[in-house]
Amino acid sequence: MSEGDGGEPSVAEPPGETGAGPAAVSSGARDGGAPADGGARMRGPRRAAAVAAAVLFAGVAAVLGLTTPWNPLPGHVPGGHVRADPSLDFSPHEIARANAFDGAVNPPAYSGLIVGLVVILVLGFTPLGSRFIGWTTARVRRRPLRVAVAAVALTTLLRVIGLPFDIWGESVLRDYGLSTQSWPAWAVDQLKSLGVTWVIYTIALLLLYAVVRRFPRYWWTGAAAGGFVLVVAVSFIYPVVVEPVFNNFHSLPAGQLRTDLLTMAKRDGVPVKDVLVADASRRTTSLNAYVSGFGSTRRIVLYDTLLKSPRPQIESIVGHELGHAKRNDVLWGTLVGGLGVAGGLCLLYLLTTSPRLLRRAGVDPDVPAARGARSTGPADPRTIALVLALVAAGTQVAAPVQNLVSRRIEARADAHALDLTRDPSTFTAMQHELSVRNINDLHPNWVEYLLWMTHPSGPDRIAMARDWSRMHHVTVPPPLQH
C-alpha cells in the first residue's frame, strides 16, 4: 500500500548539482536548465529510465511467478477436485438474495468506476486539467503550496464527482441491512477518508515535484527509490496512524476465547502478543477479520460482529489470519508493491517527459533556461492532473493481476487454517456464514473476478475444504443443503 512540509524546500532552488549523483552532467545544467539540444540530451536519461522500468517490471513478474502459491493445496486429491457448486450449500433463498444484491450493488460500483476514470482521464489528457489547476492556484505564489493546493483541489473534485455513486451504493447496503450507520455518521467517514487522501497525495506529490525540480533529467532515480520507501513506510504505519481514524480498537477481553486464540498462535509458531477487536458494528453487520502492518505494527484484528459466532468458527477465521502472519504476506505484498511502484515511476518519467503528451495536457514541454523562470515541463504543477490520470490508468491495468495473486494467497491462508484446526466441517460452516451474512457473490463472472475479487468465492473455499478432507482422509463435510 503511503504517504514534507508545505514550506519552500531548499531543493526547489538548488545552488547547483555536483558530482554526487546522476544529475551531475558535464554541462553543469542547473535547476532545470537545458541546452539547445535538450531533445538529444534527454535520450540518454529516457533510455535509462526505460531499461530501469523494464528490469523492475520483469523483476516483479519473476517474483510473482515464483512465489505466488498458484496451487495453494498441492498434492493429489483422491477422486479429483470437488466442483464449486452454490446449490450444494446455499438455499435457493440465499442464492436468490445474493444474486439480487449483486444486481443492485453493481450499477453504482461500475458507474462510479467508469465515471471516475473518464473524468480523471479527460482532465489529464486534455488542457482541462491544467486549466483547472491554473485556476485554483492562480493566487498562490510559493511552488510547494501550489502543488499542495492542486493536490487537494483535484482529489476533492474527484471525490465530489463520485459522491452520488457512493450515496447510491450506501443506499443499497442499507436496503439489505449491511449498513448500520446514520447518514451523518456516514458523511463524517467520507470526510475522514477525504482527509486521509489529502494527506497521502499532498505528501507524495510534494516529494515527487521536489525531486523533479532538483534532478530534471534523472528524477526517475530519486522518485523510484522514494516511491519504494514510501510504500513500505505507509504499510508499516497504516495500522497505528490511519486505521484508528475510522475505528476504535481494544484488546480481546481476558477469557477462554482469548486464551485459546493465543494458545493456537503459539502452537502455530506465530508470535502474537495481542488480538484486537474493532468496533465495526457501529458501521456494518458484516463479518470480517484481517492482518495489517508488519514487524512491531503487525496486528490481528477481529470485527466485534464476529465475536457472536461459535468459538470453533472464530478459531477457523483466526487460523486463516495466522496463515497470513506466518507467511509475512503483508510484508511480502508491501515489498512487491514497492517494486511495482518504483517501476511505475520510471514509466511515469517516460510519459511526462514526452513533449507530445505534455502539449496534449496543455503544458509547455520546454524546460526553463534560467534560474527563477516559471516552471514548465514535468516540473510544472499543472501536470498534476496528467500524473493522477496516468496513476489511475496504471492502477486499473494492474488490478486484475493484483486480484489474481491475492486470491491465491487467500486460498493458501485457507489451507493453513485447515491444517491448523483440522476441522473442515467448521471451516465450511464458517464460509457459509460469511457468505450469507456479507451477501457475497456466490457465482462471480469473469469481469467481477478481474475488477473486484480479492478472495475466492464462498463456494470455491468450501470446495477446497472438501478437497483438503479427501487429501487428509478426514470426513468430507456433507452438503449443507440436503
Write down which residue in 325, 354, 388 finishes a domain: 325
Q: State whether 301 and 450 are in the same domain.
A: no
For the domain that residue 315 is a member of, what is the CATH number?
Answer: 3.30.2010.10
Tell me the DSSP string of 415-471: HHHHHHH--HHHHHHHHHHHHHHTT--SS--HHHHHHT--S--HHHHHHHHHHHHHH
**Quick check: is 8 in a domain?**
no
Residue ending a domain, choose from 261, 296, 325: 325
The verdict on 263 and 380 lying in the same domain is no
Residues 194 and 214 in one domain: yes
Residues 316 and 332 in one domain: no
Is 387 among the domain residues?
Answer: yes
- Residue 40 has a pLDDT of 67
pLDDT for 209 = 96
Q: Does the residue 479 lie in any domain?
A: no
Domain assignment of residue 275, given as a range:
249-325
Looking at the fold, whether 44 and 169 belong to one and the same domain comes out as yes
CA distance 178 to 180: 7
The answer to whether residue 20 is domain-embedded is no
Domain count, the chain: 2
3-class SS at 42?
helix
For residues 131 and 239, membership in a common domain is answered with yes
Which string of DSSP letters, residue by residue, matches 124-170? HHSHHHHHHHHHHTTT--SHHHHHHHHHHHHHHHHHHHHHHHHHHHH
Collect the ranges in the chain with pLDDT lower than 70: 1-40, 367-376
**Cα–Cα distance list, 302 to 50, 299, 309, 458 (Å):** 44, 10, 12, 19
Any idea what DSSP says for residue 366?
P
Do 62 and 104 lie in a common domain? yes
Same domain, 235 and 224: yes
Q: According to the model, what pLDDT value does residue 39 have?
A: 63
Same domain, 221 and 88: yes
* Bridge partner list, 302: 277, 289
Q: Could you count the other beta carbons within 10 Å of the beta carbon of residue 200?
A: 18
Q: Which three cell numbers stand for residue 408?
A: 491465491
Residue 445 lies in a domain: yes
Q: Do residues 100 and 169 share a domain?
A: yes
Please write the tens of the pLDDT for every residue from 141-200: 899 999 999 999 999 999 999 999 999 999 999 999 999 999 999 999 999 999 999 999
Give the list of residues 6+ apart from residue 250 with CB closer than 8 angstroms, or none: 276, 277
27, part of any domain: no
pLDDT score at 20: 34
Same-domain pairing of 286 and 386: no
pLDDT reported for residue 364: 85
Asked if 444 and 453 count as a contact pair (C-beta separation under 8 A), the reply is yes
CA atoms within 13 A on the CB side of 34: 21
CA 199 – CA 2 distance, rounded (Å)? 9
* pLDDT score, position 43: 85
* Model confidence, pTM: 0.88
Kindly state whether residue 52 falls inside one of the protein's structural domains. Answer: yes
- Cell 465515471 belongs to residue: 115
Considering the domain boundaries, does residue 25 fall inside one? no
Query: Do residue 199 and residue 279 come from a single domain?
Result: no
Confidence at residue 132, expressed as pLDDT on a 0 to 100 scale = 97
Helices (H) then strands (E): counts for the chain:
16, 4
